[in-house]
Structure 1
Amino acid sequence: MGSSSDEVAFDFTPFIKIYKDGRVQRLAGCEVIPPCKDPGTNVESKDVVISKDDDVSARIFIPKLTDQTQKLPLLVYFHGGGFCIETPYSPPYHNFLNSIVSEAHIVGVSVHYKRAPEHPVPIAYEDSWTSLKWVASHLNGNGPEEWLNRHADFGKVFCGGDSAGANIAHNMGIRVGTRGLPGFNIDGILLVHPYFWGVERIGSEAQKPELHAAVDKLWRFACPTSTGSDDPLINPATDPNLGKLACKRVVVFVAENDLMKNRGWYYKDLLEKSEWQGVVEVMEAKGENHVFHLFNPYSDNAVALLHRIASFINHS
């Protein structure tokens, strides 16, 4: 007879298990790569503490520079993982940021926010907001991180992320638009397979009720205080502040076989029907599934996604 500590309260295999005694077992996203100079891209990375009290940190990436006074576009990136798994130090994210920073020739800040269930949503949003304020503290060149002081062009700031991280990037755009962050302007937001949801089934969601129920359950698990899948944090259609998104350009990446594909297209429609005055476009990868680019980064579709991110950032 098994002990009570072996009884599972929440099973979201192959990602995470929670036992009735409160123990958390992450089944993915636990491997770590230290900061380094990547031999393939010549991108250098280092880890920084953003807030010791709040346990918020980041990994910063910088490309090979021939001019040490050069200013580069800045990307603040939020990783995915259902708000529960992965970090900026996980191999898929470390490698993806290396690739973006090299391809687009930018400075990257990959945020390490605290994860559910130990730190339930909305803590991830609060940590991400703390991170944006920390980045903004470098506007006048006298912040705590020299790479940002010396090389970040604050006239070309972008926010981005994938899955739950794309959700965070969107919500940070809403916060900047509604609360303001003096001197900090977001040029564009890039959302890769964004984790948006809703009670009403749209598109192909109705054909997969078991997956729809699993996504509902995951959101409730990550954010126990939520009103449900029509919470404005997860469903932009219910957010009265959607039109205040603080940027003029958005690119949304979706994957043909991803359950959340319909939400990406719907997000485009919502923005275009709101009072938001920007331009939004969607790029769909045929034959692919959720966050395919992280696990098959050399595929044609993953390379096309990377090129599109770089051209979006370097658009003049």
Structure 2
Amino acid sequence: MAANSDKMLHDFSPLLKHYKDGRIERLSGVDVVPPSVDPKTGVQSKDVEISPEINVSARLYLPKNPDRSKKLPLLVYFHGGGFLIESAFSSLYQKHLNFLVAQANVVAVSVNYRLAPEHPLPIAFEDSWLALEWIVSEATDEWIKDYADLNHVFLGGDSAGGNITHNVALRAGTQKLDGINLSGIILNCPFFYGKDSIGNEGADHFIFWKNFNNKLLPYVCPSMSDCDEPWINPAKDEKLSSLGCKKVLIYVAEKDFLKDRGCYYKEILNKSGWNGDVELVEVKGEDHVFSVFYPDGENGTAMLKKVASFINE
């Protein structure tokens, strides 16, 4: 082994380590499980290629015994992981989507977008928009054609995936995509940030995460000028009122560093002139994306029921 092989260039533990010799070591979210028929929920899944030439793909989900005579809402889901780790094919997201699809009785497309640093932002946003274009294209998969109602489409995601959800929904409001009606978005502990601290972001027990984010953001988006760019700080976005849906559900967790940003998002959205309804739910005693890690826990189950109601009301 070369003498410099273990020297660190960037350390984003517990997500990723980037060594001076160019090696990138992802510390979690690297496992891959095959699609299946889930024995607990009866949810079916399968994998599809969206754009094989750039390695963009997805895992599709169908609830147990879908009825062809009554099409179901379509949920397009974007996984979290700080734009650095995880995939639509990991065991964590396979379990989460199985429970979510079963509870909400939806067809789901879990998008496998490309990750930084090999593919820096805005590539994840472009890949995610490409997934929407694929859904309405003539080549769309038969599960979507036969079972999904494209007049009843929702976007959802956790953490970085919540950020992607917002940015794709904003693009949908400014760049119309024929063939899809975006009904609403679901933001689970969304990853927003800003140059100046708000709420409890400056508290001593959050110093690690504040420093972490200050280093992470220019790493995943080297072209950014500062942490107030609109893609990460919607309060600085003059186009916020153009958000391309009529309702928004935001979940935040009491112990999460990102909680105040989620609350602030509701505030600025209401003040922006956007013509829609936004609801915020804060879950006591929980931390970041608790429902992804424990979808079958008490609070995770309650959240999935709320999401199901939001989609189907």
Regarding TM over 0.5, the answer is: yes
Partner of 1:150: 146
Q: 2:273 aligns with which of 272, 275, 279?
A: 275
Aligned residue number for residue 308 of structure 1: 306
What is the SS of the residue equivalent to 1:53? helix
Equivalent residue, structure 1, for 2:71 = 71
Match of 1:159 in 2: 155
Paired AA for residue 177 in structure 2 = L
Pairing of 1:286-301 with structure 2 (within 5 A): 286-301=284-299
Match of 1:37 in 2: 37
Superposition deviation, residue 97 in structure 1: 0.6
Is the partner of 2:201 in helix, strand or coil? Answer: helix
- Equivalent AA in structure 2 for residue 215 of structure 1: N
What is the distance in 2 between the residues matched to 1:93 and 1:183? 27
- 1:294 is displaced (CA, Å) by 2.0
For 2:108 and 2:98, the matched residues in 1 are separated by 9
Distance across 1 between alignment mates of 2:306 and 2:190 = 16
The Cα shift of 1:185 comes to 1.7
Give, in angstroms, the shift of residue 296 of structure 1. Answer: 2.4
Distance 1:72 1:143 in 2: 20
State the match for 1:203 in structure 2.
199
Give the conservation status (yes or no) of the 8 Å contact 1:69–1:150. Answer: no
How many residue pairs match? The answer is: 311
- What is the distance in 1 between the residues matched to 2:33 and 2:56? 18
TM-score normalised by the chain length of structure 1: 0.96
Cα contact 2:252–2:281 (8 A) shared by 1: yes
Answer whether contact 2:187 2:250 (CA < 8 A) is retained. yes
Aligned residue number for residue 253 of structure 1 = 251
Secondary structure of 1:45's partner? strand
Q: What corresponds to 2:188 in structure 1?
A: 192
Alpha-carbon contact 1:185-1:246 (below 8 Å) kept? no
Relative distance call for 1:66 and 1:227 in structure 2 (3 A) is closer
Deviates more, 1:257-266 or 1:298-307: 298-307
Name the amino acid aligned to 2:243: L
1:66: how far off? 5.3
Between 1:191-200 and 1:216-225, the stretch displaced more is 216-225
CA displacement, residues 104-131 of structure 1 (integer Å, 9 cap, x when unaligned): 1110000000000111111101100111
TM-score w.r.t. length of structure 2: 0.97
RMSD: 1.3
CA offset digits 1:27-75 (Å, max 9, x no partner): 0001111000001100000000001122110000001225334310000
Q: Which is worse superposed, 266-275 or 222-231?
A: 222-231
1:35–1:46 CA contact under 8 A, matched in 2: yes
Residue range with higher mean Cα deviation, 20-29 or 201-210:
201-210
- 1:220 equivalent to 2:218? Answer yes
Matched, 1:241 2:243: no
Report the equivalent of 2:51: 51
Contact 1:193 1:291 in 2 (8 A): yes
Corresponding position of 1:10:
10
Distance 2:102 2:35 in 1: 15
Structure 1 residues 211-270: Cα deviation after superposition (integer angstroms, max 9, x where no partner): 212111111111111112111110000111100000000000000000000000000000
Q: CA deviation at 1:91?
A: 1.1
SS of residue paired to 1:263: helix
* Cα contact 1:74–1:158 (8 A) shared by 2: yes
Who is 1:125 aligned against? 125
CA deviations 1:155-195 (Å, max 9, x no partner) are: 11000000000000000001011111123221000000000
> Whole-Å Cα distance in 2 between the matches of residues 183 and 25 of structure 1?
40
Question: Which position in structure 1 is the counterpart of 2:115?
Answer: 115
